[in-house]
Amino acid sequence: MAVQYNYPPEITGKRKLYSLVNGVKDPLGVINGNHAIAGDSYHLRTAITNKHFIFSQDKEFIEYILKQNHKNYFKSEIQSVTLGKYLGNGLLTNNGKDWLKQRRLIQPGFSKVKITNLVSIMEEEIDKAFLSFNNETEIDLYEFFHTLAFNIVAKTLFSSDIDEEKVKELGKIITEIQEIFAKEVRIPFYTQALNILGITDKNIRKSKQAKHIIQGVLDKRKNSKLEKNDLLDMLIHAKYEDTQLPMSDEQLVDEMLILFIAGHETTANALTFILFEISQNPEAEKKLKEEIAIEDENVFTAESLMKKSFTINVIKEAMRLHSPAWAIDRQALEDDSFKEFSWKKGTLIILYISGLHRNPKYWEQPNAFLPERFDSENAKNFAYYPFGAGPRLCIGEHFAMMEMALIIRKFYKNYSFISYQKELQKKALVTLRAVSLKGKIIKNQL
């Protein structure tokens, strides 16, 4: 007798067709609309491939998948296979025992002690980037922050100089790969069309070029024989517990590529959203500048940057409203159930973090920018997961928070930003990003 499953409410008919057609260009709008119709969890089934998807912005459901029963869930084939063919088998795309082995090798490089030692290197890169600002500077902050964040990753994690042309080339490759990846995931049979047209092969060649650039960084380090005591040194010399062998060059390059992408992409996107929100909220900017003045000579110390503060509240609130990691995907290894719902092995689970972060069930004034809400003693229990949760919590969370706090304080100590935009046009690829953030930087009057 066939097992009967009790999936959440299903999206069918015209709404299903609408979701498939518009899910490519406006996934957030489509998913928000479906949740408005069906509730905090809904089910979508593809007719031809017969794949089952559950989308959820329910806090308890999300915690069940990421924490309580995480062992029954792998990164879905969306990332492990589709994205993996472009980016390799690094922490972002790997699964199971291989992922755990890599995580254990890399984790020590992101300890709080290691991170606090990086402040001076970050400061140097930030100060150098800010030298381009005059009394009034017109700028696209989205572009600016991507270059700055990339340079910070290169210097802090790998002590490496990559010229600006290589930075731009890598950024261009990453964007193009993400564009194709997003369409592969959202359009039925798009993968077959890409294969026939040769676009998949072209994209794989681009990813090989990105890896070639990263290999150049690795070769430069190995040939130099220098010990720099950074993450790259640690990765080169780290050995697996079971074999006592180091990582192959191929695995090293995959991990470095993932760290370059994850280490700069989400941070640059978040910084763009943060400065946009501050530009729309003069009271928040005033309070931020007051805090910077009060902190005085301690303002850029690791201790001050990492402690609870209004600066941190501003970062958290902007990342709530605009979550760079806007969705998390998982795939069920076995049949499972939660409360009244049950689903079969192979079901794809899309945990909709952007929806969770604006869900009125958990947030008062969910669309308002209110950094003070994170002063609450209950803040640790908020429906808030910008870095994920459970064993696969983002390895670079502390690194990213300290970097963003440092950049924001250095900027607002000396400058203000006037946005030309009252609304942000956003694009949801692997990460959520702004299309641009154009405006004017004004130097503070002494």
Q: Which residue is it, tokens 């030298």?
A: 131
The continuous run of DSSP H or E covering 317 comes out as helix 310-321
Q: Is the alpha carbon torsion for 84, 330, 57, 47 positive or negative?
A: positive
Residues 110 and 153 sit within 8 Å (Cβ to Cβ): no
DSSP state of 80: I
Do the Cβ atoms of 63 and 69 come closer than 8 Å? Answer: no
95 annotated among ligand-binding-site residues: no
**DSSP string for residues in 111-172:** SHHHHHTTHHHHHHHHHHHHTT--SEEEEEHHHHHHHHHHHHHHHHHH-----HHHHHHHHH
Tokens of 440: 């004017």
Contact between 387 and 399 under an 8 Å Cβ cutoff? The reply is no
113 token code pair = 């002690």
Tokens at residue 401, please? 């928070």
Residue 148: exposed, middle, or buried by beta-carbon count in 10 A (0-12, 13-18, 19+)?
buried
- The two tokens of residue 332 are 């069920």
Binding-site residue numbers are 394
Binding-site residue numbers for heme are 394
